[in-house]
Amino acid sequence: MISVRGLTKDFGPVRAVDDLTFDVGAGSVTGFLGPNGAGKSTTMRMLLGLDRPTAGTATVGGRDYREHPAPLREVGALLDAGAVHPGRTGRTHLRIAARSNGIPIARVEEVVERVGLGAASRRRIAGYSLGMRQRLGIATALLGDPPVLVFDEPVNGLDLEGVRWIRSLFRECAEEGRTVFVSSHLMSEVQLVADRVVIIGRGRLVADAEVGEIVGSRGSRVLVRSPDVDRLAAALAGEAEVRRRGPGEVEVVGLPEARVGDAAHAAGVAVHHLATVEESLEAAYWSLTEDAVEFRGGHERAGEAS
């Protein structure tokens, strides 16, 4: 299990991570989300002993990463798919990692097969695409058969088949009882694979909850199209919030679909469309982090100034 307690990191006058506390449990996939500059990569680097915290702790299995004598047997990590020697073959890279951590060489063949590198593992890494480097990085993370896996943007560079494969891999690892901690900007992918999410903004914890809880945090919403939305709004007054979305279209917040339909029928209002709005993790994420976005596009800045 991963345990983060009061984790803080200052780079001179800049506080990149600010008193973070959360846990990542075994047997599940946890998504790690936040805007650019939120402190996700810095948090992961401290977890893996690459940066020293200014304050607080980040441990794996109750120990600092640097205290593990054979770290690949405890924590498998992929932070940067490009951090490999381009002159080596993929297989040589894995064999060196295996020998340095006391892992049987036979394990190399097993992970090459599991990540689908195949014959490409005998080629020099310099000729690898980004997707192939990602697979090699994942193979390295799996090499020691560790109970904890940490990935930073693992979907980058993967084609559609690769994306489907990595979803299955994460779920398989969680079902095997491992701790899987994944940072990603792809909300739709996180929603498909994660059990929980930890969301940070400006280095601080914004949310730590199950995906269903985060997605449902904005309440039930029903989209209605009708030629008489004013009368429908009057019929629902006091029971729900009614928001206009366009000509003849409103969004009803706070009531289930059946209750909205019943109210329209009782008021004699014709309804041409009635459907529950399917919430997305992306929508909930933006709602939670809109005040914690450090870098915005030019049109957003213009909007803020107006």
Q: Residue ranges per domain, the chain?
A: 2-211, 220-276
| Strands 179-183, 28-33: pairing kind | parallel
End-to-end CA distance of the chain: 47
Distance CA 114, CA 107 (A): 11
Q: At residue 297, does pLDDT exceed 70?
A: no
Q: Model's pTM, two decimal places?
A: 0.79
Q: What is the DSSP string of the chain?
A: -EEEEEEEEEETTEEEEEEEEEEE-TTEEEEEE--TTSSHHHHHHHHTTSS--SEEEEEETTB-GGG-SSGGGTEEEES-TT-S-TTSBHHHHHHHHHHHTT--THHHHHHHHHHT-GGGGGSBGGG--HHHHHHHHHHHHHTT--SEEEEESTTTT--HHHHHHHHHHHHHHHHTT-EEEEE-S-HHHHHHH-SEEEEEETTEEEEEEEHHHHHGGG--EEEEE-TTHHHHHHHHTTT-EEEEEETTEEEEESS-HHHHHHHHHHHT---SEEEEPPP-HHHHHHHHHTTS-----HHHHHHHH-
Percent over 70 (pLDDT), the chain: 93
Mean per-residue pLDDT, 256-281: 90
100-141 pLDDT per residue, tens: 999 999 999 999 999 999 999 999 999 999 999 999 999 999
CATH number for 2-211: choose from 3.30.70.141, 3.90.1300.10, 1.10.10.10, 3.40.50.300. 3.40.50.300
Confidence grade of residue 291 (pLDDT, cut at 50, 70, 90) = low
Q: Is the pLDDT of residue 7 over 90?
A: yes
- Cα distances (angstroms) measured from residue 51 to each of 3, 17, 199, 257: 16, 12, 21, 50
Options 3.30.70.100, 1.20.58.480, 1.20.140.10, 3.40.1390.30; CATH for 220-276 is 3.30.70.100
Over residues 79-88, mean pLDDT: 92
Name the pLDDT band for 299 (thresholds 50, 70, 90).
very low
pLDDT digit string, tens, across residues 210-243: 998 888 766 678 999 999 999 999 999 988 889 9
Q: Is the pLDDT of residue 267 over 70?
A: yes
Assess whether pLDDT exceeds 70 at residue 301: no
